[in-house]
Amino acid sequence: MDVRRRSTNKPPRPNLYNTHRRSIKSVDDQHLPSSSTPPTKPSDALPLPLYLTNAVFFTLFFSVAYFLLHRWREKIRTSIPLHVVTFSEIVAIVCLIASFIYLLGFFGIDFVQSLIIPRSIDIDDEEDEQQILQQQNSSLSSSLPPLSPPIVPIVIKPTMSSEQDEEIINSVVSGTTPSYSLESKLGDCKRAAAIRRKALQRVTGRSLTGLPLEDFDYESILGQCCEMPVGYVQIPVGIVGPLLLDGIEYSVPMATTEGCLVASTNRGCKAIHMSGGAISVLFRDAMTRAPVVKFASIKRAADLMFYLEDPDNFDTLSVIFNRSSRFGRLQSIKCAISGRSLHIRFSCSTGDAMGMNMVSKGVQNVLDFLQSDFPDMDVISISGNYCSDKKAAAVNWIEGRGKSVVCEAIIKEEVVRKVLKTTVPALVELNVHKNLVGSAIAGALGGFNAHASNIVSAIFIATGQDPAQNIESSHCITMMEAVNDGKDLHVSVTMPSIEVGTVGGGTQLASQSACLNLLGVKGANQESPGSNSRLLATIVAGSVLAGELSLMSALAAGQLVRSHMKYNRSSKDMSKVV
């Protein structure tokens, strides 16, 4: 007889955890073959005690991680590619992966079990156990809540109420909480954008209705594309093509709000395709950055200029520069002196990235190196506008920046007449008077074209490029000549400063990434680094060629106003309205 049960009328407390475990086991036993072998834990299969095994893999993980980081640091210093690995590094990588998988799956098993399994509580007698078992089975079958709260604590993720959002909005409006810190404080980028949007409407007293907020991945722009978002702008994307360029057809995406632009460029693509396609040549690929430094005298500034432009010093400087990246490779250094100041223009290849950050890091390495031999050098700025970035500058027009491309096509006389609705002599004459003479009279800088920036901007926005770099990227001279005894038209565009990339920046966003994928240039080319960005530059030039050809034809035929009235303007007679 149980003495404990005699001494009190209160029944012993049942172990609900073990009871629930038994009830689940009884259901599972209906589907599993019977076996007399008791169940085992994952730790039972280990040759050593669990804590010793964890310690071994813990030590192995950090040891090989330190070894690999040390080896990669040495490779960067000696300009050895990181993908060239030795046998010891291969073994270290395998050990790192194995130890990581073990620690991810097994680390802390005993610790977790000690929290969720109360091992000190037992069922007092079989009658109580049977009674609790029946209660649990009936509870499970009827989908009712358990008779008493479970022993294992359930963690419920707190939900943010509208009252909490209201408090945050008020703190942003009052200036207590900075708007830019919402993402870091809340840990939810979309919620931060919604709160910032409401706060902005209260502060300005103006509505943002019509500016979309939903259906956008705000996590993807955090820290790389846009700060303090309150929504996003919708720009329609049209497709022109197929553009037959270098024997391959491309469907080119263009994001624009200008009517006729896509249709006009598409007509140019048709004319090029019917004439056998266009040919492109990329003859230069170099991104630039030009810091400005200052000395106490012009002699010291000239000494540094002579040192930098000395061919004997270039190899040393290139090794210092190239440490910043696997793909950044110094190509040339040019200097321009102005009194005690020296502007230094570095040019380097940048792989598939547009490369502004890459070249800036390399330049900083060189400046730090020069400081030892020229301690009196005062670095005024990492960029002194001799680069020149996002500005119309003759240095980019003459020496190029980014990708320099020339593209040509020979349009047959029949195509000019039937598709473009004009004649070869009319196009040649118009090009001379408009693109060459007219631009020269206007004092144009790189603007010897009809509307190259239209096409460049539309493709830049669609593919995630920096729209501000449309300024120098649209530098273009359009040439038209009569060939084949004056019957056919030779048309070409020369663009020395197309600044594009297929990795980094806006190219990582979902919409822009899809447009790059459509062109077959998404991401970095692993087999031939830099080839994707170079191909994108040639596609831009080929599209500009099509746009120039169509617009010039519309001007020569007097179709420009009619087409814009049809596709881009209202058809109402405003005199009758007045």
Q: In the chain, what is the straight-line distance between the N-terminal and C-terminal CA atoms, in Å?
A: 109
Catalytic residues: 258, 390, 466, 564
The residues that bridge with 240 in the sheet, in sequence order, are 252
DSSP element (H, E) containing 328 = none
**Which amino acid appears at position 50 of this protein?**
L
Q: Quick check: 305 and 335 in contact, CB under 8 A?
A: yes
Both tokens of 182, joined, read: 């919402």
**Which amino acid appears at position 340 of this protein?**
R
For 2-75, strand residue ranges (E) read none
C-alpha–C-alpha distance, residues 150 and 20, integer Å: 9
Both tokens of 558, joined, read: 């007097």
Pick from 379, 348, 380, 378: nearest CA to 362:
348
N residues, the chain: 578
Both tokens of 338, joined, read: 């102005």
Pick from 298, 327, 388: nearest CA to 534:
327
- Dihedral angle, C-alpha 385, 387, 390, 395, nearest 10 °: 100
- In our burial notation (b when 16+ CB lie closer than 10 A, e otherwise), range 490-516 reads bbbbbbbbbbbbbbbbbbbbebbbebb
Taking residue 392's Cβ as centre, other Cβ atoms within 10 Å add up to 15
Taking residue 291's Cβ as centre, other Cβ atoms within 10 Å add up to 22
Q: What is the DSSP letter of 516?
A: H
